[in-house]
């Protein structure tokens, strides 16, 4: 999200914003909302309609959905193919951040690399931005778990030779393949709705701190993009248009200028690509390219990528205060657990700057802006 605020206007209020975000958006392992418990019927609607359900409930505006991949709704989702256990896990986790690498980060644009694209995305130097990273929570996890078990059987049924059982799969057009695809899309819709609600609470938080309407603060969605998804897309393969099932796992879409899937206002420059880094260093905004369409089915990287396991990071941060260390570098962090902060310490990740340099140099997305963190809430 962008704002019309510059870092000077926000100043010391960053602490207040982070403290209030921490109150307004439940976070942590198994975090849930006491104020919002959804019935089975409501949840079915969430799974069918995604962010559009959230907008109908008063979270954000119709305009937001124009800036979400697939307009925040995957149309082939089938809530009936989601298990009872997944529903159970999902009923009180909608509108929560969760734990692990999920966060809401308030940042400042430190550098602009591409003026034209930055202008199209509404970004400027020293601007205050908010980045939200979360997904489909326990519901999505359960969908994956359920279908891995089914796919183990399906792989045998269809005689698919697997070099590793974890690659279990089914023909895309088979009943098993289609059931997973529709359940995955339902979970994706849950994630879209989840972030849309958080977008709304980010706006409310800023309203509380600045005592003025979110509209006047210009808090609008730059873009919302998936990072763990399979999509049915048309791409050119060996000179022929083909219908493909593109799997992006910890990777994001990076569609080129002119593509009809890119929001109209951005179509001249390409789809915005958001690359979160670790808590201490930086995040980046890039844009999609024609080369990505040719080489990577319109895909690029998603983030920094871990270099250290969670366990190792925990051992290395024993007796240290990651929160204090970050504060010394002027990043104010609130976290639901000390453990998460240890696991998520900056050194546990690759340097995101090196990662984006590669995709930029390889031409599968183009650098637009660099964002440095001011503060964050973590699970």
Partner 1 sequence: MEEGLKISLKKIDENRYVVEKHGAMRVDGVVYINEDLLRDLGKDESIRQVENVACLPGIVGASMAMPDIHWGYGFPIGGVAAFGAEEGIISPGGVGYDIN
Contacts to partner 1 from residues 77-106, by CB under 8 A: 100
Segment interacting with partner 1, rule: CB under 8 A, options 238-246, 313-321, 329-337, 339-347: 238-246
Q: Compute the distance between CA of residue 63 and CA of residue 204 in angstroms, rounded to an integer.
A: 17
Q: Which residue has the tokens 């024609």?
A: 290
Selected binder of partner 1 within 237, 268, 321, 330 (CB under 8 A): 237
Q: Compute the distance between CA of residue 284 and CA of residue 30 in angstroms, rounded to an integer.
A: 29
Contact set for partner 1, span 298-337 (CB under 8 A): 299-307
Selected binder of partner 1 within 180, 206, 223, 255 (CB under 8 A): 180
Selected binder of partner 1 within 48, 123, 131, 187 (CB under 8 A): 187
Nearer to partner 1, 33 or 350 (CB): 350
Selected binder of partner 1 within 55, 104, 151, 371 (CB under 8 A): 151
Task: Name the minimum Å distance from CB 56 to partner 1.
Answer: 19
Asked if residue 203 binds partner 1 (CB under 8 A), the reply is: no
Structural contact between residues 109 and 373, judged by C-beta atoms closer than 8 angstroms: no
Annotated catalytic residue 302: yes
Task: Name the minimum Å distance from CB 308 to partner 1.
Answer: 10
Structural contact between residues 226 and 253, judged by C-beta atoms closer than 8 angstroms: yes
Asked if residue 232 binds partner 1 (CB under 8 A), the reply is: yes
Structural contact between residues 13 and 5, judged by C-beta atoms closer than 8 angstroms: no
DSSP assignment letter at 220:
B
Structural contact between residues 244 and 237, judged by C-beta atoms closer than 8 angstroms: yes
CA atoms within 13 A on the CB side of 271: 29
Structural contact between residues 27 and 96, judged by C-beta atoms closer than 8 angstroms: yes
Distant-in-sequence, close-in-space partners of 187: CB < 8 Å, separation ≥ 6: 47, 82, 86, 136, 139, 140, 143, 144
Segment interacting with partner 1, rule: CB under 8 A, options 29-37, 118-126, 164-172, 264-272: 164-172
Contact set for partner 1, span 131-150 (CB under 8 A): 135-136, 140-141, 143-145, 147-148
Torsions phi, psi for 264 (to 5 deg): -50, -45
Please tell me which residue in 102, 133, 302, 360 is annotated as part of the active site. Answer: 302
Segment interacting with partner 1, rule: CB under 8 A, options 119-127, 232-240, 264-272, 315-323: 232-240
Supply the residues annotated as catalytic. 302
């Amino acid at each position: 999200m962008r704002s019309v605020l510059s870092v000077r206007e926000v100043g010391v209020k960053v602490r207040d914003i982070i403290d209030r975000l921490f109150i307004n958006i439940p976070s942590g392992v198994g975090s849930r909302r006491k104020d919002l418990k959804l019935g089975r019927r409501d949840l079915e609607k969430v799974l069918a309609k995604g962010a559009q359900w959230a907008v109908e409930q008063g979270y954000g505006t119709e305009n937001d959905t124009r800036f979400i991949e697939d307009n925040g709704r995957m149309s082939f989702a089938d809530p009936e193919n989601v298990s009872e256990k997944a529903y159970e896990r999902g009923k009180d986790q909608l509108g929560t951040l969760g734990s692990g690498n999920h966060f809401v980060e308030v940042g400042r644009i430190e550098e602009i690399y591409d003026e034209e694209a930055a202008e199209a995305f509404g970004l400027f130097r020293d601007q205050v931005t908010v980045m939200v990273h979360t997904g489909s929570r326990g519901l999505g996890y359960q969908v994956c778990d359920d279908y891995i078990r089914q796919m183990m059987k399906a792989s045998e049924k269809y005689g698919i030779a697997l070099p590793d059982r974890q690659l279990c799969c089914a023909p895309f057009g088979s009943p098993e393949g289609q059931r997973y695809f529709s359940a995955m899309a339902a979970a994706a819709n849950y994630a879209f709705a989840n972030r849309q609600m958080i977008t709304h609470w980010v706006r409310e938080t800023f309203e509380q701190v600045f005592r003025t309407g979110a509209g006047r603060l210009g808090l609008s969605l730059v873009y919302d993009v998936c990072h763990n998804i399979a999509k049915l897309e048309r791409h050119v393969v060996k000179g022929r248009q083909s219908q493909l099932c593109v799997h992006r796992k910890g990777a994001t879409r990076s569609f080129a200028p002119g593509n009809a899937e890119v929001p109209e206002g951005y179509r001249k420059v390409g789809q915005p690509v958001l690359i979160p880094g670790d808590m201490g260093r930086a995040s980046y905004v890039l844009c999609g390219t024609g080369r990505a369409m040719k080489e990577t089915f319109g895909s690029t990287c998603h983030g920094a990528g871990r270099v250290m396991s969670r366990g190792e990071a925990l051992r290395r941060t024993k007796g240290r205060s990651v929160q204090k260390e970050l504060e010394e570098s002027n990043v104010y962090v609130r976290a639901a657990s000390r453990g998460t902060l240890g696991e998520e310490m900056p050194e546990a990740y690759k340097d995101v700057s090196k990662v984006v340099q590669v995709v930029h140099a390889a031409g599968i997305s183009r650098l637009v802006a660099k964002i440095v963190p001011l503060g964050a809430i973590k699970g």
